[in-house]
Amino acid sequence: MKRKPKFVLPTKYILLILTCVCVLAMLLSFTLNISGGPLNSAAGYVFIPMQRGINAVGGWISEKSDSLKQLNDVMKENEELKRKVDELTTELNTLTLEQYELENLRDLFELDQKYPSYEKIAANVIGKVSGNWFSNFTIDKGSNDGIEVDMNVIAGSGLVGIVTDVGPNYSTISSIINDTNKVSGMVTTTSDNLVVSGSLQSMSERMVIEFSDLNDSDGEVAVGDPVVTSYISDKYQQGILIGYISSIEMDSNNLTKSGTITPAVDFEHIQEVLVIRNKKQQTKE
Amino acid sequence: MRRKIIVSIIIAICYLLQSTLFQRLAFASISPNLLIIVVSAFGFMRGKKEGMFIGFFCGLLLDIFGGRILGMYALLYMYIGYLNGRFRKLFYPEDIKLPMLLIAGSDIACNLLIYFFLFLFRNRYDFRFYLLHIMVPELVYTMVVTIFLYALILDINQRLEVIEKRSATKFV
């Protein structure tokens, strides 16, 4: 004899309900910029320590395997390096000249005072989450360490991206090479403004990102010019290095120019980043 | 209950591996999609309902840590799990062709939808590029991982089913 089963909601209806929940969540996060909330903290406390652990182990293993590999490659590299030394010495000479020029320009733009005075906080990259379509990182510092949404993130000397989501012990960063991201930048040599937009396609084909809307009527902007974040950006601090112009061409309207920028940061191998704790809005006040 | 705990552990492990280890093992900056294997496999092994729930939670995990929009991946993965569940009647543990086909199909469908909604809508028309540089490499890498991961999941599932059957007969 079978007992009469309890009333079970058919799968179809559960699917429908969950679909509604998802759509509602999407609409809410679109309109109100709400993200996760308690879900964030719960998930953060479960996964972040484990990710940190795996990363520590992974780092150790890759270090060991790297050192083995290096042993084999060392001979080959040595020859190559000797050749490179000659190349680099000549390059260094030109770079010292450029450095001198850059310092002059920094004084001109008063970047020198602004850039180092930002309060920074160091964090480790512990995971890259969102599959192959986007370039978002998780870092191991969150609201407990004073990180907030919209803080700028740099690595070395270049701009990495912006904090989009914060949990208690982690935060996610959307990098500037992300297909959906746009940054308003400025060419330091001529202080012309332009729009830098990440592009999956040009990034994976040529390791560059695109820029557009450069209004350079005198034609003074040249390949190799550094591009920094512009003062008109409402989220990015002024004067953070984005990259160097690698190609430039006139648009079909004959007024503006567009082209590509080589990012200053090596996005394939980011391990440590610095989060700038001053937000743009705060500095305005 | 036992099943729920074990499945959550599998999801957690796959997510952790996907976000850390396999990012380091990426070929040409493409990494495999482990969660889609889990969602798809449990879908056709266990049916619509379980596939749906597992898909929902896997997607939610990706949403929390990955995207700006909460619920998008949850929706996508939930439907993938649900649709895979419709193939349960065709599934036999000995047959490897159907699982491989379904997992491949799920991965491609997932990527096509992401391309369609997040890239095509923003005037990225070069479909050929995205197909050849993102979707196909990810598919190949995912299928290579599937060979190992699927065998593991299948084995775990069969053990669980044996245990469940045993405890079910005990109480009747």
- Residue A145: which CATH number? 2.40.10.340
In a domain, A124, yes or no: yes
For chain A, the straight-line distance linking the first and the last C-alpha, in angstroms and rounded, comes to 76
Q: What is the ipTM of this complex?
A: 0.72
- CB pair distance less than 8 Å for B133 and A204: yes
Sorting pLDDT into bands at 50, 70 and 90, what band is B81?
A: very high
Phi and psi of A131, rounded to 5°?
75, -160
What the block records as the tokens of B46 is 């266990």
Q: Is residue B75 part of a domain?
A: yes
Look at residue A81 and tell me if it is in a domain.
no
Instruction: Quote the CA–CA distance of A171 and A51 in Å, as a whole number.
Output: 13
Average pLDDT of the residues in B31-44? 90
CA distance B151 to chain A (A): 23
Residue B141 located in a structural domain: yes
B167: in domain: no
What is the span of the domain harbouring residue B33? 2-160
| Partner residue opposite A133 with nearest CB, options B56, B118, B129 | B118
CATH number at residue B117: 1.10.1760
Indicate whether B115 belongs to any domain: yes
Bridge partners of A212, per DSSP, are A195
Mean pLDDT of B134-163: 89
Can you read off the two tokens belonging to residue A107?
A: 């004084």
Which chain B residue lies closest to A50 (C-alpha atoms)?
A: B16
Instruction: Determine the 3-state secondary structure of A135 from DSSP.
Output: coil
Contacts of A19 in chain B (CB under 8 A): 75, 78
- Give B72-120 as a DSSP string: HHHHHHHHHHHHHHTTGGG--TT--HHHHHHHHHHHHHHHHHHIIIIIG
What is this structure's pTM? 0.75
Residue A157 forms part of a structural domain: yes
Contacts of A18 in chain B (CB under 8 A): 52, 56, 74, 78
Nearest to B20 among A58, A132, A174 (CB): A58
| Cβ-based neighbours of B40, under 8 Å, separated by 6 or more | B51, B80, B81, B84, B99, B102, B103, B106, B107
A52, part of any domain? no
Question: What domain range is A197 assigned to?
Answer: 120-284
What's the number of domains chain B is made of? Answer: 1
In a domain, B168, yes or no: no
Domain count, chain A: 1
Mean pLDDT, residues B58-80: 84
**Residue A190 within a domain:** yes
Q: Is residue B165 part of a domain?
A: no
B5, B11, B20, best to mutate vs chain A, most A CBs in 10 Å: B20
- Contact at 8 Å (CB) between A133 and A179? yes
Higher pLDDT, B107 or A59: B107
Average pLDDT for B25-37: 81
Residue pairs spanning A and B at CB distance below 8 A: 138
- Cβ B47 vs Cβ B77: under 8 Å: no
Q: Which residues of B touch A180 (CB under 8 A)?
A: 118, 122
Per-residue pLDDT of chain A (285 residues; tens, 9 = 90+): 456 667 777 888 888 888 888 888 888 877 776 666 677 777 778 788 887 887 777 777 777 777 777 777 787 888 888 888 878 887 887 888 788 777 777 665 654 455 556 788 888 888 877 677 888 888 888 888 888 888 888 887 788 899 988 888 888 888 888 888 888 888 888 888 889 988 888 888 888 888 888 887 777 888 888 888 888 888 888 878 888 889 888 888 888 888 999 988 888 778 788 888 888 765 544
The residue assigned the tokens 């898909």 is: B55
- Residue B61 pLDDT > 70, yes or no? yes
The answer to whether residue B59 sits within a structural domain is yes
Shortest Cα–Cα distance, A226 to chain B (Å): 26
Tell me whether residue A10 is in a domain: no
Q: 């086909």: which residue's tokens?
A: B101
Q: Are strands A171-175 and A158-166 parallel, antiparallel or unpaired?
A: antiparallel
Is B166 domain-assigned?
Answer: no
Distance CA B137, CA A118 (A): 41
Sign of the CA dihedral with A158 first, then A160, A166, and A168 last: negative
Residue A90 is assigned to a structural domain of this protein: no
Mean pLDDT of B67-89: 87
Q: B155 pLDDT exceeds 60?
A: yes
